Amino acid sequence: MALFGKSKNNSAEVNPAVLPVHIGIIMDGNGRWAKKRGLPRKAGHSAGAKTFRKITRYCSDIGIKYLTVYAFSTENWKRPQDEVNSLMNLFKSYLEEALADFKDDSIVVRFIGDKSQFSEDLRNLMTENEESSKDRDGMVLNIAMNYGSRDEIVRAVKNISADVKNGRLSEDDINEQLVSDYLYTAGQPDPDLIIRPSGEYRISNFLLWQSAYTEFVIMNKLWPDFEKSDLDEALNIYSGRNRRYGGV
């Protein structure tokens, strides 16, 4: 019997006992998708944005509590200016239109990463989205933008050190929980499952601290081709994993 069969209304029938609470997705493969079709890379990013919308809705429909999507890394600024510009334009139109859609699904929108490098327009849109969605009771969607896990950890170390200096913390307060509390994902459970489409076997600076015991599923589909059925497949693979956390 399929664990994640489809019901008539097209939402998955899931066994809540094996459903991950928190899923991370490295939305990769947009450029290769465009190249295969002889299109500019930005066409791949637009197609990837549509997939983002579809999969986010689906995760919310099937009862995922937290979804973290990797949209732009601290290293992605080194791409050609033209590509960076088209990504920034895409983010802007998404934050203006599509995110308003998530209202119907009660999705709480949060951004993780260093916002300070974005234009003022974009920063304001990010804040508006966070403010207007913060009291909703649905899935928490973390959009990782200008996110790098090493950068996140350095920031946490600096803030901890400042709080030790100003007396808010003592050195004895520093433990694993405290470090987690200084990350962008403070207060959220660690990801149970990270999915990377596009077939790359690497983490590319995503949730390094948080993924200590995360299950990884690498899929060969490029992100713009990713379907709800691919998410079901990842969930099925996840449900068959034996998570031991160092035990037996």
Contact positions vs Mg ion (CB under 5 A): 28
Give the three-class secondary structure for 42.
helix
Q: How far is the CB of 84 from ligand IPE (least distance, A)?
A: 9
Q: Does 173 bind ligand IPE (CB under 6 A)?
A: no
Contact 128, 54 (CB under 8 A): no
From residue 105, alpha-carbon distances to 43, 49, 72, 98, 110 in Å are 27, 18, 24, 12, 15
Q: How far is the CB of 29 from ligand IPE (least distance, A)?
A: 4
Dist. CA 194–CA 214, nearest whole Å: 7
Place of tokens 């066409």: 43
Compute how many residues bind ligand IPE; rule: CB under 6 A.
Answer: 17
Q: Is 121 marked active-site? A: no
Closest CA to 236 of 18, 51, 49: 18
Q: Does 89 bind ligand IPE (CB under 6 A)?
A: no
Q: How far is the CB of 204 from ligand IPE (least distance, A)?
A: 4
Which residue of 30, 142, 146, 211 would you call a contact of ligand IPE, by CB under 6 A? 30
Q: Looking at 25-33, 126-134, 156-164, 235-243, which segment touches ligand IPE (CB under 6 A)?
A: 25-33
Q: Is 163 marked active-site? A: no
Dist. CA 67–CA 54, nearest whole Å: 13
Q: Does 74 bind ligand IPE (CB under 6 A)?
A: no
Which residue of 24, 31, 113, 191 would you call a contact of ligand IPE, by CB under 6 A? 31
Q: Give me the helix-helix angle, 120-133 and 81-93, nearest 10°.
A: 30
Contact 50, 97 (CB under 8 A): no
Which residue is catalytic, options 10, 30, 76, 104? 76
Q: Does 73 bind ligand IPE (CB under 6 A)?
A: yes
Q: Looking at 164-172, 173-181, 196-204, 227-235, which segment touches ligand IPE (CB under 6 A)?
A: 196-204
Q: Does 94 bind ligand IPE (CB under 6 A)?
A: no
The three state secondary structure string of 121-163 is HHHHHHHHHHHHHCCCCCCEEEEEEEECHHHHHHHHHHHHHHH
Please list the active-site residues: 28, 76
Judged by the rule CB under 6 A, the positions of this chain that interact with ligand IPE are 26-32, 70-73, 76, 87, 198, 200, 202, 204
